[in-house]
């Protein structure tokens, strides 16, 4: 791990996210609603396979209070199959056209590790954030492109790719190694010209169950990076496998762990269930409000 005084040279506190002129304040946690456009997602694969279903889900995400919609067309579940850029774009375009026509003011993030896809969705469809599960490791052009596009970048930690990541879970000290990883990447991104950087520890990516809980338990350690922290644990295996239930039954566990995440400093909750996440944040904020008054 890099020494603290070295890391402090690379980082500065970020209190808002500039999404193509629209500022998202970070004074309280934000909700990012998930729109999966894949047929094989671990939870809602093939749910949104028609324009009508996509439109209904977008309405639902917005009406329930999400500030960001994150859409992905490449399944990142462990062992997921590779698809071509053409297929990824084919899945994305109908949803992007719907949003551009009906909800032009909503902040949209696209979950992709391919710079060609990122360029098209930002330039042609007004997408205002890129969510890269590979942290720039799969496509070497991603950092420079994001800088050129001038959009916020979600920097996630993962080793390998979705097909190989669960064979790469050996760490000496997972928290120290991830903090060092992020400090180095943030430094590179800043030098490249990327202004808004969000970090995501990558729960479930190249981590076994115990490591996921260690990361959540020590999430406040990542505050040293002074960057917004995104937590994506919604209905994941760290919940349903531990409780011996199905992803469809993991909403209660998700809400519990999301509460712990915001207590420990999460700025963005990436979720399938927006209403419940919004309520979690409201209740937590009320509790904090009472504590401050007293």
Helices (H), the chain: 4-10, 51-63, 85-102, 115-125, 142-149, 174-192, 209-217, 237-240, 251-263, 274-293
| 191 belongs to the catalytic site | no
Distance CA 214, CA 269 (A): 18
Short-list 248, 268, 249, CA closest to 258: 268
Distance CA 287, CA 270 (A): 22
- What's the token pair of residue 164? 């190989």
Distance CA 56, CA 46 (A): 14
List 114, 185, 207, 236, catalytic entry? 236
- What's the token pair of residue 153? 């970048």
List 270, 275, 282, 294, catalytic entry? 270
| 270 belongs to the catalytic site | yes
Contact status, residue 186 vs residue 197, Cβ threshold 8 Å:
yes
Distance CA 219, CA 202 (A): 12
Distance CA 128, CA 106 (A): 9
Catalytic annotation, residues? 236, 270
């Amino acid at each position: 791990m890099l020494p603290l005084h070295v890391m402090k040279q690379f980082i500065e506190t970020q209190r808002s996210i500039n999404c193509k002129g629209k500022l998202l304040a970070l004074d309280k946690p934000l909700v990012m609603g998930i729109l999966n456009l894949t047929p094989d997602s671990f939870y809602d694969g093939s749910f949104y396979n028609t324009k009508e279903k996509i439109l209904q889900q977008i309405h639902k995400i917005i009406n329930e209070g999400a500030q960001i919609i994150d859409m992905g067309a490449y399944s990142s579940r462990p062992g997921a199959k590779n698809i071509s850029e053409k297929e990824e774009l084919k899945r994305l375009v109908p949803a992007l056209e719907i949003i551009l026509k009906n909800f032009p003011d909503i902040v949209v993030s696209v979950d992709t590790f391919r710079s060609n896809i990122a360029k098209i969705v930002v330039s042609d469809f007004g997408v205002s954030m890129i969510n890269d599960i590979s942290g720039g490791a799969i496509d070497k052009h991603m950092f420079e492109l994001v800088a050129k596009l001038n959009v916020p970048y979600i920097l996630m930690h993962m080793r390998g790719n979705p097909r190989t990541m669960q064979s790469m879970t050996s760490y000496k000290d997972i928290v120290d190694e991830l903090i060092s990883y992020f400090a180095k990447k943030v430094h590179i991104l800043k030098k490249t010209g990327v202004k808004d950087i969000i970090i995501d520890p990558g729960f479930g990516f190249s981590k076994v169950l115990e490591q996921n809980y260690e990361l959540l338990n020590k999430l406040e350690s990542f505050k040293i990076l002074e960057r917004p922290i995104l937590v994506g644990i919604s209905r994941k295996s760290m919940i349903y496998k531990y409780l011996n239930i199905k992803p469809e039954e993991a909403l209660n566990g998700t809400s519990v762990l999301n509460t712990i995440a915001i207590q420990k400093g999460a700025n963005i909750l990436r979720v399938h269930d927006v209403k419940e996440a919004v309520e979690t944040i409201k209740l937590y904020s009320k509790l904090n409000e009472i504590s401050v008054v007293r």
